[in-house]
Chain A
Amino acid sequence: MSDTFSYLLMAWLDPQLLALTALGTLAGIYVGAIPGLSVTMAVSILISFTFSWDINNALALMVGIYVGGVYGGSRTAILLNIPGSPAALTTAFDGYPLAQRGEAGRAIGLSTVMSVIGGFVGVAILAATAPMLSDLALRFAPRDYFLIAVLGLLLVSTLSGKSLARGIFAVALGGVIGLVGMDPVTAQGRFTMGSMNLLGGIHYVVVMIGLFGVAEAFYQLHHLNTIPVKQKVDKIVPSFNMVTKYLPLSLRTSVIGVIVGALPGTGGDIASLFAYDHAKRTVKNPSRPFGEGAYEGLVAPETANNAAVGGAYVPMLTLGMPGDAVTAVIIGALVIHGLNPGPMLMVETPHIFWFTVGNLALANIFLLVFGLTGIKLFSKIVELPKAVLIPLILVLCVVGTYSINSNMTEVYWMLGFGILGYFLKVFGFQMGPIILGVILGPLLDETYRQAMSSVGDNLGEFLLALVANPLSLVLTSVITLVLLGNTPAKRLLMERLSRR
């Protein structure tokens, strides 16, 4: 027991580890904030960089970058409507309207505090229930992942604004974009039109940067002479009352975040979408309507995506299986440092587990410190004249896109998506459902086919499996309830009843 404590506090007491965690968190915030620079990329670079270091030092830096990076994506989402990473997508929905109201500082402050709360819930659940949670995660069969993806698709009603038909079109469009490239099962090209360049698919960050960043830049060009909103920079740190007011919501969305994060194959991006949807369904009287700057719309995804970090470590530390792309790279780091990530990791080297837990908690404290400083300077970005800001946004989009794969073709795609996004926006389409489709399309396709192959391509057996297993039955019931409660079916039923 005393060993456990000393491992837990190791990072807190050693000045070098303390400094590395702090440095990592600070660097992570900027990595996350810049579209195109991803945490996965930064951690991969660190592997070679920290090769000769002590394992604890290397891990401390990586944990810091991970925690800071997941949070950092919200910065550009709030300030420029460009999510720095897919996990910050939903943060833009209410964060950007807040910045346009002059509340950028407050939005960043709130998102920081909420990220830290989410982060701590994630760490707590990781520390308390890791083995249990990992057993739960293993129970998810391909058909359950398929059901999760279907559940995710139902978010379209939350994201599509006024016209559901347009939302459905947008999701399907996103799905098609997501499927472009080589089929993972048979290796045939899909929607590639014979182009070798498209065999690798279109990276979803390219789509996101184009649809959000460039489309927004074009849109703003029409309003060049509007004077930027003066940012209120007084109440940056959210009041105690405000934090307690949103605490119940943030705890619920944290749990969503941890569970989605713990499932291998789903991460912070899907967690934040579910959390946003949850907020929109459960909060009856938001501070403002969702999509127009509701604080609740900011709280939910921000807590969830940081809680997902703790979740992603669950299968990694208990089974040696990655919970997301970043933990996959960290597993590589452990291997290179001579450790054996696997079911025996917690038995043979328990210090790695407790050290990571303590370090994650520490990184969240640094996140609070660094997240709340420098906000005044950051929120001034929004006050730049549009004529300066717009060219800068375009350059940022270009660098961000290019740095993903060092591929100029993708930069042209990004510009193309920007122009497409502008017109879709003009004619009443929302960007959210498109990204939803890009993220979920391939997941749906893959899991559907895994589930189908598992039952020998028998449709009857496939459908039976969706209700015959406890976990699948729960998911199927949730989907049915959501469908009945949120689609025209309910309205039609109500109308019919009232007519009688």
Chain B
Amino acid sequence: MDNKPDKLQVGERVFDWLLLLFSGAVFYHAYQITGFSSINSAGAFPIGLSLILIASSITILAGHRRKQKPDTQGALDELKAFLHQHFPLNVLVFSALAVAYLIAIEPASFFLSTFVFLVLAMLFLRRGKAIGSLLTAAGAIAVIYVLFTVVFRVYLP
């Protein structure tokens, strides 16, 4: 992590506000379990946890005041910088491939979808080198088959 301690990162304020919002939601759900009925109930500990979440996220937000704001002008600019920093092409394409892979596992069988995913992901990330990618993917599949299916008898779809 190369973040400097005295400077807020792009998107940090929004993220930390989201955490507070999340903590509030956790409190709501914790309260739904048994309410404040007893100190020894299914909901007692969850409510305690949610209060800790709320308190610590407020502390985190309070800590922002001591830090410098990021060098962006306005919300739109910050959003752009955030997207640029965390969602470069590599990440976007890889994530899309990963999600497609997960969706394909059950209908298209584990080994086929894994092979296709590995080949496509490696082809993309290495910008070519088809033969190497095919061989590596085939090797990986073979190892997984032997270890999981043959030796440990794990059921794969």
User: Residues of A with Cβ closer than 8 Å to B?
Assistant: 27, 30-31, 34, 37, 41-42, 45, 162-163, 165-166, 168-169, 171-173, 175-176, 179, 183, 185-186, 188, 190-191, 193, 218, 221-222, 224, 385-388, 390-392, 394-395, 398-399, 402-403, 406, 408, 411-412, 415, 419, 422-423, 425-428, 441, 444-445, 448-449, 452-453, 457, 459
Chain A residues whose CB sits within 8 angstroms of the CB of B144 once the complex forms: 395, 399
When the two chains form their complex, are residues A406 and B122 in contact, meaning their CB atoms are under 8 A apart?
Answer: no
| A446 and chain B: residue at smallest CB distance | B45
Identify B50's interface contact among A45, A176, A402, A448, CB under 8 A: A176
Residues of the A chain whose Cβ atoms lie less than 8 Å from the Cβ of B73 = none
- Known contacts A34-B147, A221-B94, A403-B148; decide if A191 and B106 are in contact (CB<8 Å): no
Interface status of B56 (Cβ within 8 A of chain A): yes
Return the chain A residue nearest B97 by Cβ.
A391
Q: Are B15 and A427 in contact (CB-based, < 8 A)?
A: yes
A427 to B53, CA, bound (A): 16
Is there contact, CB below 8 Å, between A395 and B125?
no
Q: Are B39 and A408 in contact (CB under 8 A)?
A: no
B102: contacting residue among A415, A426, A445, CB under 8 A: A415
Q: Which of A166, A406, A428, A448 contacts B45 (CB 8 A)?
A: A448
> Chain B residues in contact with chain A, CB under 8 A?
1, 3, 5, 9, 11-12, 15-16, 19, 26, 29-30, 33-34, 38-46, 49-50, 52-53, 56-57, 59-60, 63, 86, 88, 90-91, 94-95, 98-99, 101-102, 105-106, 110, 114, 117-118, 121-122, 125-126, 133, 136, 140, 144, 147-148, 151-157
Cα of A453 to Cα of B15 in the assembled complex, Å: 40
- Name, among A34, A186, A190, the residue most crowded by chain B CB atoms within 10 Å (CB to CB): A190
B118 A406 Cβ-Cβ under 8 A: no
A391 and B9 within 8 A (CB) = no
Q: Which residues of A contact B33 (CB under 8 A)?
A: 183, 188, 190
**Smallest distance from the beta carbon of B7 to chain A beta carbons, Å?**
12
Decide: B9 and A427 in contact? CB cutoff 8 A: yes
Contact (Cβ within 8 A) B39 A193? no
Q: Does B57 contact A169, Cβ atoms closer than 8 Å?
A: yes
A453 to B44 alpha-carbon distance, docked (Å): 13
Bound state CA distance, A387 and B16, in angstroms?
32
Please measure, in the bound complex, the distance between the C-alpha atom of A264 and the C-alpha atom of B84, giving whole angstroms: 50
Residue among A398, A408, A419 having the largest count of chain B Cβ atoms under 10 Å:
A398
| A399 engages B148 (CB within 8 Å) | yes
20 contacts between A and B (CB under 8 A): A163-B63, A168-B56, A172-B56, A173-B53, A188-B34, A188-B42, A387-B122, A388-B133, A388-B136, A394-B98, A394-B101, A398-B101, A398-B105, A399-B144, A408-B157, A415-B99, A428-B3, A441-B49, A449-B40, A449-B45
B117 to chain A, nearest CB (A): 7
Closest to A456 in B: B40
Contacts of A166 in B (CB 8 A): 56, 60
A412→B99 CA distance, assembly (Å): 9
Residues of chain A with a CB closer than 8 A to B53's CB = 169, 172-173, 176
Chain A residues with CB under 8 A of B45:
179, 441, 444-445, 448-449
- B20 nearest in chain A by CB position: A169
Contact status of A165 and B63, CB under 8 A, knowing A457-B39, A459-B39 = yes
